[in-house]
Structure 1
Amino acid sequence: MKKIIRILTGRQCGATLDLSPGRVKIGRDIEADIQLLDWQGDSLIIECYEDGRVTLELADEARARRFPEVLGDWVPVRRYDTVLCVGPADLTWPCDADLLDRLHSASAIAATKRQRNGAWHGRQLALKVGTAVCAVLVSAGIVVATINTQHSDAAIVRHPAPQARLADVRAVLDRLGQRDLVVSQRDGRVVVSGMLATPRDALAARTALAALQGTPVDSRFAVADAIADDLSAAAGDPSVQVRYVGRGEFSVTGHVPEPARIKTRLSDAATDYGDGMVTLQFHLSRQEVARDVASVIDTRDLRYVQLPDGTKEFTTVQPRSEGE
């Protein structure tokens, strides 16, 4: 199965490369097969095998792990400040926002497991200490009539009230200057939806929201830069420019031969992002296309024009009146 790699964040966000069987070096230096100007760390080696497996490891063999990391299809991985993803070349990929959301969800699950493991070890330690204390008290002939629950109460994780959680999330987004996002509550969870201008904004928002204690947040926002690039490609005309203007609205400008065709094509493409997610403002002007004429024959009453494709057009010349 043929694979491709896609860059999800950074200055080369949206760039893709076909992976043939062999080794590819990714990094900042000029010797890298995939050179990323904003790459922040050591160079990596991506190796693609005949059976479709793709692995990732450090280019420095002295520091590389014994067993390289296997990259799953559509499972994004973060290396330094760059997020990469590999997947089949012949299948439709999820959008970049969904892939980044998978990365955020995986990080949140891992953090939750670490918290649970820490709480479990804490309970085991408390049980051992409590058992030892009870043994000492019983051997001394002391009867415990009451149980102090002060410490057990302190161990209980208290989630903030729903309105307090919403306020905390809104405060985080306000500090980031992201006022176009919508904060709501569904099934006991806080949901943040809407659109962010750049992948850097999306990464900053996800990082800040993940840091909120006791407030699970579903991040369901899209990245405007990626959508603008997709819409520009869908237009099929290099003179068409798509620019994000805010609040889910994109401005489409250009001087094109068929504005109606561009409008229809981009309006259909915008529906792929969900109802009301993308609003398009068209500012297109018509470009008159000059026809290339191969030959012209002009007689007294008949004009004959032949186009380069062999098409012939005949027009009759109206006779002049005697007064002209």
Structure 2
Amino acid sequence: MKLLRVLTGVHAGAQLKLAPGEYRLAADDDADIRLSDWVGAELRLTVDSQDVVHAKRPPPLPTENGAPSHHGAGEHQHVEPDAPAMTHSVADVTLDPTAAGDNQGTEQILLVDFVPMQFDDTVICVGPADSTWPSDVELLSTLLVKPDQDKREAKRARHRKIASVTLVCMAVGMAIGLGALLMPIQDSRAARRHDINDLAQHINRLLADQKLTELHAQVSGSVIRVTGMVSTATQDANARDLLQHTAAGVALRQYDIADVDARNIAESLGIAGVHVAYAGDGIFDVTANVKDPQQFRSALERIRHDLNANVKTLRTHITAIDKNSLPSTYSEMIVSDAIQYAQAPDGTKHIYIAEQPEDQTGMPASGVQPDSMTGPLASTLEACAEDFNNLPQAITDTSKVEMIRSALDATAKRVAEEVGETEVDRDSLAKLYRGLLAASRIVAQLHEKRNAG
């Protein structure tokens, strides 16, 4: 099956599949293929069983001045009288001799696939319906009339010859001129190279005089790079002044400050208990007292890639801390009977119950076991004892200080009231009462510290 595509005019871009048969293309309403802007005589398209397309068009009618009323394919173009014959990029028009006998005065044109044909102001093209078509611009570009190729080629050859001679002359002149110019430039570069090497050596001597022995100046192209390490910001200021007065604009500061690097390494690790110190010659000692050494090693390996060449080595000293062990030193401690409260240097608070001697945990002075008590007082004592035993774990949550304090005060008052009404085991009740008051005081101290902080 063939595909007909309109490339120009009002219907540009329109396409129609053509089955084998004959089609009349014109502007009237009875046409098989109607193009409203079609001018001139109608065009009959014939598609045979081999998908070969022919176009037939009646001969042009003469006008009053003897010129035809319409033009065939490509005949509307203007031709100069003395100009050579123009050639189209489309296929030559083929006349069917057999059809000429049957249709006297009717021209028959063979339409070649993907070769556009122009009929007056309209350009059409045929091709296989199932193939990939070129764009309309590519198809229309083949209709452009080419100039005389021989004449253009001769003209181009002359231009190329003249251009070649000109380029050769220019190249010879430029070679001579560049040779004359490069000789003093090379001498100047050699002298400059010698001067910049001397300047680098001079900077190294000045750095040594300033006790900045870990800084090194070396030539890199047309600049001097100063690398290494200074210990403090004071040494950095001294090095800046030296380079500014000696080689301003030539010396590039690419060294590190040890204090800054040590702080950056510690902050990048982000692990408590890590201390970084500079040991000299680009070596940093990293001391770590951590609970998870593997986590520390992973973090250290991660930041190694972010360090530049001025940091040569990271020496690690790792000490694993037992997660369940208590701190060995305290900044503050409060002791009250059975309850002990301690604060470690890192701010951690520890509250626990100290072990009591056996003579304090035996039989009460009254000889009455607490378990043998009955009545409301026994229930109160059991509740107070349970609160007292759970007190260390509860106090560690400072957000509940006020609630615990109020509960302890209420319990202490209730115990005091019942002790005054009942004659039972006053020693045990008094000891419990003192413990509750001590716990209340500790809670009050925690409350004051929290408000002060």
Could you tell me the TM-score, scaled by structure 2's length?
0.28
Could you tell me the TM-score, scaled by structure 1's length?
0.38
More helix by share: 2
More strand by share: 1
The structure that has the greater radius of gyration is 2
